[in-house]
Structure 1
Amino acid sequence: IRKPVIGTYRGYEIISMGPPSSGGVCLIELLNILENFDLKKYGFGSSYTIHYLVEAMKRVYADRAEYLGDPDFVEIPLEKLLSKEYAKTIANEIDTLFATPSSKIVRSVSPPEEGSHTTHYSVVDKWGNVVSVTTTINSYFGSMVAVDGAGFFLNNEMDDFSAKPGTPNQFGLLGNKANSIQPGKRMLSSMTPTIVLKNGKPFLILGSPGGSTIITSVLQVILNVIDFGMNIQEAVDAPRIHHQWYPDVVYYEKRGLPLDVIENLGKRGHKLVERRGFQGEVQAILIDENGVKYGAADPRGYGFAMGY
């Protein structure tokens, strides 16, 4: 049994998956950085908001590549990565007007593009117990080897290791020796099943499939609720962006950004690419102050919300 990682964001408590998943660490580090900016003032989808999101994402994915792996095999500076002080130093590095090229965010790994078959579900029972679960076989159909008579595919999670540090895996993610292959070691993932508490009580239960985009998908739903005041379905439906340090590209969903925002971000030095498909498939539950539960299934996928 692994311990979760715990942080805070604007008075809310964030509980998420710890290593060997990178999801919780990266999510909390991102929130800690973004807490230094008044996103509510800038507004959802503005060039300023997206600029700060992207610049934070670059730096956090660089830390992911540098430090994260199986804690049974490598020493991870968790206290540093989860600290508000470290996040403040990163926030202070971010230029308010111009993009920092990924090549200038230096780590010991540098480049020469996770699973497409991941499932997430969020559950609340009648007693108020909450569960956030993400499972995966990594790529579509995993290893493409099915177990005779059992009806399921074996995974190809070995690709989540850094078989050759500095060379990207199938999702473009770079890794360091911290995530190299060793006997008995667990590979690094991006799974980010998360529970958000408000005044000590469950408020948000969420997660997503999507490989390297899981972290940024979960992040943006949390921001949409806490900073931008959306209801849970609006927060899940809203268009998303993604940057993972390398390649040095901001991916955005089709018709997800207005032309003026695209032009403004381009002038700031960001390289933008419209996705061919969608980003993530968040399944979420929000529990309001009266105990009313609101379920939201992402229209990007085939999930649905149901009650009891």
Structure 2
Amino acid sequence: MKLRSTQYAPFLLFALAFASCKTQSTTTTKADAKLSQSQGVYQYRDEDPLVKPFFSDRVGVIGRNGMVASAHPEASQVGLAILKAGGNAVDAAVAVQFALAVVYPGAGNIGGGGFMVYRDNTGKAYTLDYREKAPGNATQNMYLDSLGNVRPGLSISGHLASGVPGSVDGMAEAHKRFGKLTWAQVVQPAVDLAAKGFALTERDALGLNRIKNDLNTINPGKTYFLKSAEPTDTVTWHKGDLLVQTDLARTMQRIKDQGRAGFYEGETARLLAEEMGRGKGLITEEDLKNYHAVWREPIQAKYKSYNVITMPPTSSGGVALLQMMRFTEPFPLRKWGWNRDSTVQVMIEAERRVYADRAKFMGDPDFVKVPVAQLVSPEYLKTRWTDFSWAKATDSRTIKGGMIPGYESLETTHFSIVDKEGNAVSITTTLNGGYGSRVVVGGAGFFMNNEMDDFSVKPGSPNMYGLIGNQANAIAPNKRMLSSMTPTILEKDGKLFMVVGTPGGSTIMTSVYQTILNVIEHGMTMQQAVNALKFHHQWLPDKTTFENGAFSDATIEGLKNRGYILEKLTNTLGRMDCVLIRPDGSYEGASDPRADNTALGY
């Protein structure tokens, strides 16, 4: 779906009128003045009293023949090896997806699903929806008690929380259409990693230790991901320990030998269905056999001289990203500066309105009408901005989803890959929460998702990320649940420019939005844009959370004086993995220093 930036003049004049007024009142401090752009790269001075605006000083990885940026060093090594062996970006993406299912069990998966945005080297774009589906026996009120109240936890942990997985079918579809190497070549690295084992990073070990009690409670009699078979064992995992996954290796071998059928039929399907039966889950062998990923038309729209290619529903991320970018496009963010009070205020108000629209309009397009073109149109966005005021924060209680005539009413992982020919893949994939439902399929050795929580379990009731949903995202048999995942590719002047995405639950869309603007508005390198400290607002709850150091004292004071509720985070936002095409044609791979993310190129 190609969306043009036509008839933008009324909204542009409207925004510029605000901008001209605000230019006179923007808070200016000596510290702010020392932040500058030099030769297109964002700079700061050591004597600046502001907290340094970056999470770390990590620099990007440069390559000319290929780049892989993923959440785990082992997976990035696998992707790079596939590129060096003559594989293309899709081959590498399939190999990385399966490798992450072994080395990054908290989010990498074959028991979950995801989205792929692909742009080939001729400029043709494609999107693949391999999001999970509700089982055939699912019902709209399956998580409510007799009084209509949500039964806590049922959609988050245990067997009833899982939707029908889509990752294996998605990878099979992508490879069948665009792969260059054989299927066996791209799956074999995952088989080897599971069978031979890999050394845990410190973060790997901490994660497995953290969920030990849940593993014992939800998987009685199983020893998967435990260091010792003894139920009362206090021995914990440590950095450098070897994690061998024999049953998962057998599962991966079946996928390698039989393709899609190695997961959705035969032994693996039997084991998965039996596991669901033991825990009163709903997924059957028939559900698995009937699952199919869907090729959808990408959403494409202009932002200044850039073309944004992103994911359509059932992801809400693409629509939300384009809305936020178009809301802020007319304002002089570059002039105001990175995370200055004016810049932040405009971005918060854009985020607020976008998340309200998400709650009202978004759902599976195979079940409900999603008015994509209207939601990102200049005329509609202008109406959404009429209650904006520089003097005070908008009260989220007064913000609802907009009016469109005729309309009927945090753990994920991302990787970005570009090959030697300039083919580019942006994939975000997930189990939903960390380690999904915490259910490990007996005999098969992989975690199942808890994606059913991404439905509106009860309209108006928040999910685990605090997101509010409506009837458009209600549970129905074989329906895909709404997602915030936002894999995205940008072009500049018709050429590949950026591949971007992140995990982060409800914060995905705002993290992608800020990372893109950090490069094209604030002159940062790709790695600086990833390193840069971030903030987030999602309509409800009505507050802005921010990483420590993201805002100067002057920005905090200016926003609080206008009624904004600010909350400093003790953790971080985003786990970006991105690739930027530099002016000389080389690739800059940027991986997030907030975790084990690793970019590798050659």
User: Equivalents in 1 of 2:337, 2:385: separation in Å?
Assistant: 18
User: How many angstroms does 1:96 deviate by?
Assistant: 2.3
Judge conservation of contact 1:16–1:195 (CA < 8 Å) in 2: yes
Q: Which has the larger displacement, 199-208 or 93-102?
A: 93-102
Q: How does 1:45-64 map to 2 (within 5 A)?
A: 45-64=339-358
Query: Given that residues 526 and 579 in structure 2 are in contact (C-alpha distance below 8 angstroms), is that contact kept between their aligned partners in structure 1?
Result: yes
Structure with bigger gyration radius: 2
* Alignment-mate amino acid for residue 346 of structure 2: Y
2:492 corresponds to 1:198: yes
Gaps spanning 5+ residues in structure 1: where? Answer: 109-115
- Aligned residue for 1:156? 450
Name the aligned partner's letter for residue 431 of structure 2. Answer: I
> For residues 38-117 of structure 1, what are the structure 2 equivalents within 5 Å?
38-107=332-401, 116-117=410-411
Residues 193 and 207, structure 1, Cα contact 8 Å, conserved in 2: yes
Task: Name the counterpart of 2:187.
Answer: none
- Residue 250 of structure 1 corresponds to 544
| 1:241 corresponding residue in structure 2 | 535
TM-score by length of 1: 0.95
2:577 counterpart letter in structure 1: Q
CA deviations on 1:212-261 (whole Å, 9 max, x unpaired) are: 00000000000001111111111111111100000000000122211221
1:140, distance to aligned residue in structure 2 (A)? 1.2
Q: Name the structure, 1 or 2, with higher relative contact order (CA <8 Å, separation 6+).
A: 2
Give the aligned partner of residue 141 of structure 1. 435
**Match among 576, 579, 585 for residue 282 of structure 1:** 576
> Does structure 1 conserve the Cα–Cα contact (< 8 Å) formed by 2:357 and 2:400?
no
Give the aligned residue type for 2:314. P
Is the 1:30–1:56 Cα contact (8 Å) retained in structure 2? yes
Please point out which of 210, 215, 238 is paired with 2:509: 215
- Residue 189 of structure 1 aligns with an amino acid whose one-letter code is S
SS at match of 1:173: coil
2:331 aligned residue: 37
Could you tell me how far apart the structure 1 residues matched to 2:400 and 2:427 are?
A: 34
How far did residue 124 of structure 1 move?
Answer: 0.3
After superposition, what is the alpha-carbon deviation per residue over 1:94-125, rounded to whole angstroms, capped at 9, x for unaligned? 212321010111349xxxxxxx3311000000
Structure 2 Cα separation of the partners of residues 90 and 42 of structure 1: 23
Q: Which amino acid aligns with 2:592?
A: D
Distance 1:78 1:93 in 2: 22
Aligned equivalent of 2:109: none
Structure 2 equivalent of residue 182 of structure 1: 476
Q: In structure 1, what is the Cα distance between the partners aligned to 2:549 and 2:335?
A: 23
Q: Does the 8 Å contact 2:358/2:401 carry over to 1?
A: no
User: What's the CA shift for 1:8?
Assistant: 1.3
Point out where structure 2 has 5 or more consecutive residues left out of the alignment: 1-294, 403-409
Give the counterpart of 1:14 among 287, 299, 308: 308
Letter in 2 for 1:246: L
Determine which structure has the larger helix proportion and give its number. 2
Say which SS state the counterpart of residue 93 (structure 1) adopts: coil
1:10, CA displacement in angstroms?
1.4
Between 86-95 and 293-302, report the one with greater CA deviation.
86-95
The one-letter code sitting in structure 2 at the alignment partner of 1:229 is G
Bigger CA drift: 295-304 or 62-71?
Answer: 295-304
Asked if structure 2 preserves the Cα contact closer than 8 Å seen for 1:4 and 1:18, the reply is yes
Shift of 1:92: 4.1
Cα RMSD (Å): 1.2
SS in 1 for 2:356: helix
Matched residue SS, 2:600? coil
Counterpart amino acid of 1:33?
F
Match of 1:131 in 2: 425
Distance in 2, matches of 1:33 and 1:151, equals 46
| TM-score, L = length of structure 2 | 0.49
Q: Which residue in the other structure is 1:111 paired with? A: none
**Where does residue 465 of structure 2 map in the other structure?**
171
| In 2, Cα distance between equivalents of 1:120 and 1:31 | 21
Q: 1:2 aligns with which of 289, 293, 296?
A: 296
Measure, in 1, the Cα distance between the counterparts of 2:411 and 2:447: 11
2-structure distance, mates of 1:173, 1:301: 25
1:118 maps to a residue whose letter is T
Residues 33 and 90 in structure 1, CA contact (< 8 A), matched pair in contact too:
no
1:34 and 1:91 in contact (8 A); partners too: no
Q: Amino acid of the residue matched to residue 187 of structure 1?
A: M
